[in-house]
Structure formats: C-alpha cells, structure tokens
Chains A and B, each alone.
Chain A
Amino acid sequence: MAIQIQVNGKTHSVDTPPQTPLLYALRNDCDVNSAKYGCGAGQCGACTVIVNGNQVRSCITPISAIKGNITTLEDYQNDPVLKALNKSFIAEQAAQCGFCIAGMMMSAKGLLDKNKNPSDAQIKIALNGNLCRCGTYSRILKAVKSAAKELA
C-alpha cells in the first residue's frame, strides 16, 4: 500500500512496506540525492534530514514513523539557514570528497534553527554524531560559524 510523505513541502506517494527505511524512499522516490547511505545503522550521520525541527537518521527511521514535513538539503533555495550554509560551505571550501557534507549541513541546520549564535563547543557537540573521513572537520566548523554570522 502506498505511503504518503511530504518532502520539502511536496507530497510523494511511495509504494513500499511501512518498515522501509526512509532513506531509500527519499533517494529513489522523492528526487533526493543529498541524504546518503553511509552505514545503515545511524552511526555516521550521512543520511541526516530534519523532521519537525529535529535531526533524523533516515537510514534507521521507518518511513511509517514520519509525521510531518521532511526537510533535506535540496530545499536550500527556500530555507534561509540552508541557503546560508550552502554559501558558507562553498566560501570555506569545506569539503573534500564531500560525502558526509550534506549530513553535516543538516545537523548544522538543526543546531542553527535553535541556537542562532553557537559557540565552537556547541557546534562540535551538535555535529559529533556526523563522521568525516577526509578530515575536513575544522573547515566545517568555520563554515557553520560563518553561516551563523551571516544569519545574525
């Protein structure tokens, strides 16, 4: 039976069992590229999206558990926080392979939505569940800080 989900304001109908991880529906049915498969266990953060203001690991969240609009990085043109992050991540060149970056940006959005002026320590805590293998952490930190400044 088809399940309805709302992604960046648009409703999609997905024909999949209710226990299907949200990630697969987003990527294969809802035109989302940003949320990535990294571990399938909620351990790396590459699949992070925002639902009702909260960070959600879409790889371990059943599609049926979602109530409300799902925000992904694709919405950056409409979402002022994502737009600022998009700009600052480019300005700081805060990516190497970039596979973790969308997840980093979504976790950063989760933080900035609640805290307009986070300290370095608060950013590190908010993003501590997002792994980066290329070692881009210090640039990501700078990019999040500069986005916060832009939004202030």
Chain B
Amino acid sequence: MNAPFKNSRRQFLFQSTGLVIGFTFGSELVADNTAPDLPIDLKNNLNINSWLYVDPAGKIDVFSGKVEFGQGIATAFRQIVADEMDVIIERVNILPCVTGIAPNEGVTSGSQSVEFGGLALRYACAQARGTLLEKASQSLKVPIGDLSIKDGVISAKSGETVDYWKLTSTELLQQKADGRYKPKPVTNHRYIGQSIQRIDIPAKVSGGVAYVQDMKFPGMLHARVVRPPAPRAQLISINESAIKSMPGVVAIVKSGSFLAVVAQREEQAVNALVEAKKQSKWEMANDLPSTYAQWHKTMIEASNLDTEHAVKKDPSKQGKKIIAGEFTKPFIAHASIGPSCAIAILKDGVTTIYNHAQGMYPLQRDIVKALQVPADKVVCVHREGSGMYGQSGADDVALDAALIARELPNQHIRVQWMRDDEFKWEPYNSAMTVKIRASLDEGGNIANWTQDIYSNTHSTRPGEKEGNNLISSWYMANPQKRSPVTNIPLPAGGSHRNGIPLYSFPNQQINNHLVQEMPVRVSAFRTLGAFANIFAIESMMDKLAKEANADPVEFRLRHLQNQRGKDVILKVAEMSNWKPNPKRVKKNGKLYGRGVAFSQYKNLQVYCAVVCDIEVDGNGKIRVTDVWAAAEAGLIINPDGFKNQIEGGLIQTISWTIYEEVKFNQAGIQTASWADYPILRFEDVPNIQVELINRPNEKSIGVGEGNAPIAGAIANALAMATNGRVYDLPLSPARVKKLFT
C-alpha cells in the first residue's frame, strides 16, 4: 500500500481483495443528477478519483464499473484513457470492478460500455488532464495554452518540463466532475481508431490465471449445489449421514430446499453431489408447459399487459391485399462453454465474492438482501469467466457461494456449477410469438403494418428495489420472492426491442403483449427481443417484396428513410455482388439460395446489413456457406475488436437460427448436455466477410449486437431456395424438409 488511505473501509476492501495499488479516495461516491452536460455514468459517480488515479510510479490506474468478458472493453478503455491523458497505452492499468471502490455503472450490457462508460471516462480523463495542466502552469509559470504534453511530460516552449508523476498527489483528483474540460476532438486521437491487441488474450492463450475458475487460495474448499430435479421442487428429505461419511466431505449445507455439499477436493465434492442426488427426496411441482405449441398458445391467450406503440395513421393510403405471417422463437440458452463459478469467503463479518457476472453492484444488492446483512458486509469482485451473452448462471452461483461461506467462515469456498446445472437453471432467452399483418398499395409499397409481439420479459436481472432475482433466494429457508416483472421500456425496449420497424410505413401499429405467467425462467440474452422481432420483420419484408415483384434490396431501400441504414444495405449489396432478384439454384441434389436482411440494433446502435448464401441438402439441413456483413457504429474505437464482435455475433446467431431450442416437458427442463443442445461446430462455419463504415463525426455507438439480422437473411435465402418459408425457429431439418416433400 503506497498511498495513505483516508477511508479505512476502502483500505480494507483493497487488502481483502488482494489489490495492491497506490490510490486514494474521496469519502463517498457522490451522485448528482443535476450536474449539467455530463455523461450519465459520470453524473452518477461524480468524483473524478472514483474513476482514475495518477500514480507517482508513472502509471494511471483506472476503475470502471463495466467489466471485461472477452468483448475487449478493457482494451477499448485503455485506448480511450491513453488518448485523453496523452500517455502511452502501456501506462494505463484497468482494474477489475470491486463494489465500494469502482464507480457504480450498473450492468455491463446492451452494447453500452463504450457509449456510456467510455464517454464518462473521456470526460473524467479530460478533467484530470486539465487539472494536471493547471498544476503545471502554476509550477512552470506559463499559461496553460502554451503547454504541450507528451507521454505525461508537460513542456513549456522554453523547454522547461514537469511530468504528471511529480505533479500528482493523493488529493489531486479529489474533485467533482464539472465539465470544465471537454474530451479531445477525434483528429487528436492516437490510439482510438486503431486495432490495438487485447490485453486479456495473452493469459488466455498461455495457461495463465485468466478466469475466476483458475483462482486458487490456500485451504480452499470445493462445493457443489444439489439443485432440485426441476423448477419449484421442494426438498422433502436427505440422508445426510450417507454423504457425510464419504471421503473428504466437510459439510452439507442445507437451508430450506437449498442444498449443497462441501469437500476438501473437487472430485470429492462431485462424488458427494452424485450421491446426494440419490439420497434426496423432492416434491415435484410438475408445472411447466408440456410442449412449445402449448406455451405459444398460452402466451397469446393468457392475461397480458398490453401496450400500443408507434401508431401512425394515414387514411389516404390504404392497401388492398393483406399479407400475414406468424413467427415463433423458442427458449434459447446462453450455453457458455464454461459453467458458472464463484469463490467466496466470510471473514471478519464481510463476505467477499469473486465472480464473473455482468454487474457487480446489482449482484451485491441481491446478495445483501438474501443474506440480510448491511450493504457494506458484501463485497463483489469481478473476475472473468466464460462467455457472458447476458444473464447466465453467473449471478446465481455468487449467491450459492455466499450461502455456503456463511456456514463455513474463514475459508475460501469455490462453487462450480456442473454442465447440467447451467443448462437447466440459467435464465433463457424468452420464447416469443410475433404476428405481422401488412398490406401493399397499388404501387407495391407497404401501406399498413400491424405487429403483435407476445413474450415474457427479457430481463430478470438482480439489483431491483424489491424482491430477489437469484435462484437460491427462492429455495432457501424463509424464501424470498422474485422481483416484480418489468419490461425494459422503449426506445431500447425489452420484448419489443426492435419491435418497431426502422422502415417507414404510412399506417403502423405495434402491440406489445407482455406475458405475465413465467413458468420457465428467462432473462437477458444478447439482443433480447430483437432477435425474434428482426427475424419476423425481415422475413415479412421479403414476403412483401415477392408479392410486389420487387427486388428485396431495392424494396428495403425504398421503405427506408434513414441514410445510415441505406448505406450499410448498399455496402453489403456491393460486397456480395448482389444481382436484383436472385434466383434459386438446384445442383447435385442440393438447393441454393441467397438472402438479405438489415437492422439497426435497438433502432439506436450499430447498423448492420447482411447477405448470406445457403445450401439445403435432401434431409432439410441448412448450411450457411458465405456471409457478407456491412456495419456502422459512428466513430470506431477499435476496428478489429468491432469486426470480432460482428463476426462472432453472426456465427452465434446462425447457430441459434438453425439448431437451438431448450427442451422441456411438464416434469422439468430436458436439456442437460451438449447432446441435447447442439450448437454450430467447425464443420459448419461459413466464409465470413465484414466491412465497416467509419463515421468519425458521429458518436461511438454499441457494436456488440449487430448479429440479429442474419436469422432473417437465412430464412429469406431458404424461402428463395425452396419457394417456401419456415416461420418457426429453429429452421430445423424437420421443418425445412416439409417445404419440399
């Protein structure tokens, strides 16, 4: 510990979490929503020193409430800080989010980290840099305007210099953000806009400690949670002595229907878990829907919260022929390769939890509620885990670890979910039904568009004011209730995300039906409702284009006013050498087709247009052979990182579209392994080309979720190849085969 700490609690936090840096803090994080003209995350965390510390040792420590999960955010933040602070990037050190220390920026989600977190950092850095210039100006007795900075060295024209590392002090940045210094213009950027290599990759490709799963502590115990056989099953009894006598078993932790086994060694914990499943009796709820057909019907018939959106009426423009389509999408699993994991220790009354969830502060809030302790008795420390595409089991396992650690204080407890725990208990992407009715006028233009969206909510994340959204809180003794169901409001939207077409129609109405009944657990998954909505909208656009005898690209451009949208469509048409009205090809017993689709994620973020070529074999199996994508997100921070997100997102979404659905019946979730839940493998990877449009004068917008349109493009390619259309996801061989047999 180099610097004096004014606040013993924060000093404790650092020591307890093993972070050793020189750093000082203001007494409390301060929020002021009335502060003028500042990015929202900065308004919520107004102290500059809650964002960064200029260390006399010649480095800049940065705290962010946003977390890295392989999307490259730490690297993007390093680029931003290096540029705004005028230092070489190697000096910038992005620290993991620790509650009580890092700014509270909620959840890392919705492709908002650069747009919000990055912008707040730019302003915080601008003020830090300006403050250092003020100091230098006093020290060198030279006006600020006559000073220049290179790698932290501030020079006067006379040649006199002073550097950040001498000027800095523990008090330097104890000041509130006031917006007196603005971030630099883009022309002065050195790192922003460059494909800087990610800082998280070297450890991942050399066997380093890269994940929470890799952390080890002396005397660490291994635990497994004995989940019920199905949702809402209650524990009747457990033969504890049969398990306690097993080698290495240290404890059985039981609270209501929350049951866990703890052992000295990991394999002993796994063996105890297997035995505990045999030795426990549960009362089953048997309350899941029996089939998808039943669930889609229930969603439409149930009593739902209905809202109308984006209503436009122009009686002078009426269509003649009505074209309708009803589209469905199943529950989809996040299916991260590594099941969720957390390590917790209760020491001196404080529970410290290392975990890979997307929001440390919201997680802390629900753990505090479950443990019924004061907020400062729980510290959540972020460490990377396997892929986070929304809310996996990551939050839940953190509470599991905390509940077990409570019973076994002063020892690190490592809880690792098993594969079937993750598949059966993670919250899925909600199943959806989207009905669209549209009509064409005499000129072949869309006159009317009515869309009805049926879905559960798409977010049941922790951190709500009331209730608790972590699984074990519902099963422990004195169980807690789920937080009230809400839908993320428009313009971002939850179930109705991208439910409003970006195209312009004279008559339009979007009806959102938020399904209250929620037998299958759901929460945020990459693109939320946008995946199903864009699949439905883009399928429908092609159906209408065909009816109007129009080329699908031309038909989209004709209905789109948004120039940035038009530009990505034109770009992808050029990249793919799109010829108007492509025709299907039949060759060697296979059918070939090509399709196009477009969206602007949330109607607010990345613009992405895609074209794909597919082949369909005699068994109805679709293989996407080639994908072209054109994407635009304002000022590009890291071109290669942007491309990596688009490529990865498209491949993942091809997998959702062709293969994926969670299986269930009344007795429980029936998806437990990769055999039950195939995903796209190497053999089916398409050739993929991504091109970016940079708009340096437009603000940077999120790039992580440009993936959704590929589903529509595949469905449209399939429609061309087969002269038929599949309305239900996934586009499985059984469904596809019906089109030509």
Contact = CB atoms under 8 A, between A and B. Distances in A.
Interface of A: 16-17, 20-21, 24, 27-28, 32-34, 36-41, 43-44, 46, 72-74, 76, 85-86, 89-90, 93, 95-102, 105, 123-125, 127-128, 130-139, 141
Contact of B338 (A41, A46, A125, A135): A46
Contacts of B385: 97, 99
A73 B674 contact: no
Chain A contact surface mostly:
loop
A142 B118 CA distance: 31
A70 B290 CA distance: 47
B94 to A, nearest CB: 17
B351 to A, nearest CB: 24
Given A38-B419, A44-B674, A93 B201 contact: yes
Given A43-B673, A72-B207, A138-B651, A89 B335 contact: no
B323 interface: no
Given A37-B416, A43-B675, A74-B207, A98 B201 contact: yes
Contact of A124 (B210, B388, B683): B683
A138 B647 contact: yes
Given A73-B207, A76-B206, A90-B197, A135 B647 contact: yes
B338 A37 contact: yes
A133 B333 CA distance: 11
Nearest to A34: B207
9 contacts: A28-B216, A41-B673, A46-B338, A89-B201, A93-B201, A96-B71, A124-B683, A133-B652, A136-B647
Contacts of B675: 41, 43
Query: How many residues of B sit at the interface, in one of the four size bands?
Result: 35 or more
Contacts of B418: 40
Interface string B74-104: 0000000000000000000000000000000
B649 interface: yes
Contacts of A93: 195, 197-198, 201, 640-641, 644
Closest 6 CB pairs of A and B: A135-B651, A98-B204, A97-B70, A135-B648, A34-B207, A97-B387
Contacts of A139: 644, 647
Residue from A100, A131, A139 whose CB has the most chain B CB atoms within 10 Å: A131
A102 B386 CA distance: 13
Nearest to A88: B205
Contacts of A37: 213, 338-339, 416
Interface in B622-666: 640-641, 644, 647-652, 655
B604 interface: no
A43 B387 contact: no
B688 interface: yes
Contacts, number: 168
Given A131-B337, A133-B337, A135-B651, 12 more contacts: A20-B267, A21-B267, A28-B265, A43-B673, A73-B206, A90-B201, A93-B201, A99-B337, A124-B683, A131-B674, A133-B387, A133-B389
Contacts of A132: 337
B207 A95 contact: no
B285 interface: no
A115 to B, nearest CB: 16
B682 A24 contact: no
A34 B154 CA distance: 44
Given A28-B265, A98-B70, A38 B205 contact: no
A95 B416 contact: no
A5 to B, nearest CB: 14
B484 interface: no
A128 B337 contact: no
B295 to A, nearest CB: 25
B205 A89 contact: yes
B679 interface: yes
B674 A128 contact: no
Contacts of B416: 37
B265 A133 contact: no
B267 A95 contact: no
A99 B207 contact: no
Given A37-B339, A41-B419, A96 B387 contact: yes
A27 B215 CA distance: 10
Given A90-B197, A124-B685, A38 B338 contact: yes
B503 interface: no
